[in-house]
Structure 1
Amino acid sequence: MDTQLLWFASRATGAVSLVLFTAVMVLGILTAGRAELAALPRAGVQRLHRTLSMVSVAFLAVHIVTAIADGYVDLDYWDVILPFGAGYDPFWIGLATVAVDLLLAIGITSALRRRLPLRIWRAVHLTAYAMWPLALAHGWGVSGGDGHQLWMIVIDIVCIVAVLAAVAFRLRPDRHPDSVARAAAAVVHPPTRVEANR
C-alpha cells in the first residue's frame, strides 16, 4: 500500500479520533450521575455515549494501525501498550500509549460492569478525565504530525473549550440533579433550626 496514503490516513483518523473522544467526554460530563439531556431519554443518552465511544475506538484503531504500517517512523505494536519505549518520539508516543492503556482499562471494566462493584467500575471510568488530555497532548507534541498546523490548533482549541464548557455547566450548583433534588426537598420539608446550623 502507498505509504503516503497510510500517512494521510493516520493523520486524518488521529484528528477525527480527538473530535469523537471529545464528544464522548462532553456527553459523559453532561450526563454523569442522574443528569439527562432534554432531547433524549436516559436510555438514549447511554446508547449514544456507547455508540460514540465505539466509533471513536474504531477511528483510533485505524490511526494506530496506519501509523505503524506506514513504516516511516520506528513504531511497533508493543509501543501501543508499553509506554515510553518507542524508537520515535518516545515521550509524546508514550503519552498516547498511556491514554490507550487507560482506554483499554475503561473498555474492559465496562464490558464487565455487571460483575464488578460499582465503585471499582466508577474509579476506572473516571480515568477518562486523564485519558483525554494525554491524547490531546500527544497530538500537539508528536513531531512530524499536524499538531502545530493552524487547522489542528483550531480543532484543539474547540475541543478544549467544549470540555471546559461541559465541566463549567456540570459544576453549576443549580444544574446538578442532587442539588435540584435537595432544593425541591427543602421546599417541601424546610430544614429545622438544628439541621440548618450543621
Structure 2
Amino acid sequence: MNEVLWAFGRASGIVSLALLTAVLVLGIVSRSGRPLAGLPRFSVALVHRSTALTAVTFLVLHVGTLMLDPHAKLGLSDAVVPFVAGWNPFWVGLGTTAFDLVVALVVTGLLRHRLGQRAFRAIHWAAYALWPIAFAHALGSGTDAGSLWFQAYAWACAGAAASAVLWRLSAGFAETAAARFGRV
C-alpha cells in the first residue's frame, strides 16, 4: 500500500505541474481576448477555469496522498507552513508556498465579485510567482527530478510558460478592450 501512495503522490505532482503550466498559458491567452484553436474567446476563459479546477484537484491529491504516505511523513503543518518540513525543508517549503498561493488564488477566485475586479486582478498576479516556485519545488524535491524523462518534461513545461509570459510582456500582446474590462 505504501508504494501505491508514494507512486500516486509522485504522479499527481507530475500531472499538477503540467496542469499549472496549462492554467498559466490559458490565463494569458484568456487575458489577450483572442480565440484559441478554434474556440470562441469566451470559451478560453471557461477552459482556463476548468483546467484550474482540475489542477487544484490534482494538487490536493498530491498533498493529501503524501500526508497519508508513511514514507513521505508530510504533516499538516508541513503542508501549510513553508520551510518547516523535517525532510528537505527548503524544497518542500517551496511546494508549500506554491500550495498556499493556490489557496489564495482559489479563495479570491470564489470571492471575485465581492472583492471587485481591481483587487481580484492584483491578487491574481500571484500566479506569475506561483509557477516558478512550483517548478523549483518539482526540480528540487521530486523523486524523479534527476531522471532524463522528467527533466525533458519539466523543461518543456518551462518553455511553454516562458513563451506565454514573454508574449504577455511583448508589444504584440495588445489585449482587447473586452479582456481589459473583464468581459472575456
Q: Describe how 1:84-163 pairs up with structure 2 within 5 A.
A: 84-142=83-141, 145-163=143-161
Q: Indicate the SS of the match to 1:86.
A: coil
Deviation string for 1:2-41 (max 9, x for gaps)?
0001111111111011001101111112221534436222
Q: Indicate the SS of the match to 1:147.
A: coil
For residues 38 and 17 of structure 1, the distance between their equivalents in structure 2, rounded to whole angstroms, comes to 23
Aligned-partner residue type, residue 34 of structure 1: G
For residues 55 and 178 of structure 1, the distance between their equivalents in structure 2, rounded to whole angstroms, comes to 27
Q: Indicate the SS of the match to 1:63.
A: helix
For residues 63 and 52 of structure 1, the distance between their equivalents in structure 2, rounded to whole angstroms, comes to 16
Q: Indicate the SS of the match to 1:66.
A: helix
Higher relative contact order (CA 8 A, sep 6+): 2
What is the TM-score of this pair, normalised by structure 1? Answer: 0.83
| Percent of pairs with identical residues | 41
For residues 12 and 52 of structure 2, the distance between their equivalents in structure 1, rounded to whole angstroms, comes to 15
Unpaired runs of 5+ residues, structure 2, are 178-184
Higher gyration radius (CA): 1
**Structure 1 residue 77, shift from structure 2 partner:** 1.6
Q: Describe how 1:60-79 pairs up with structure 2 within 5 A.
A: 60-79=59-78
Q: Would you say the 8 A contact 1:84–1:90 is kept in 2? A: yes
Q: Would you say the 8 A contact 2:27–2:45 is kept in 1? A: no
Q: Would you say the 8 A contact 2:6–2:69 is kept in 1? A: yes
For residues 44 and 178 of structure 1, the distance between their equivalents in structure 2, rounded to whole angstroms, comes to 15
Q: Which contiguous aligned blocks of 4+ residues in structure 1 show a shift greater than 6 angstroms?
A: none
For residues 50 and 91 of structure 1, the distance between their equivalents in structure 2, rounded to whole angstroms, comes to 30
Q: Tell me what 1:185 maps to.
A: none
Q: Which moved further from structure 2: 47-56 or 35-44?
A: 35-44
Q: Tell me what 1:170 maps to.
A: 168
Aligned-partner residue type, residue 42 of structure 1: R
Q: Would you say the 8 A contact 2:16–2:59 is kept in 1? A: yes
Q: Which moved further from structure 2: 30-39 or 127-136?
A: 30-39
What is the TM-score of this pair, normalised by structure 2? Answer: 0.89
Unpaired runs of 5+ residues, structure 1, are 180-198
- Superposition CA RMSD, Å: 1.7
Q: Would you say the 8 A contact 1:106–1:124 is kept in 2? A: yes
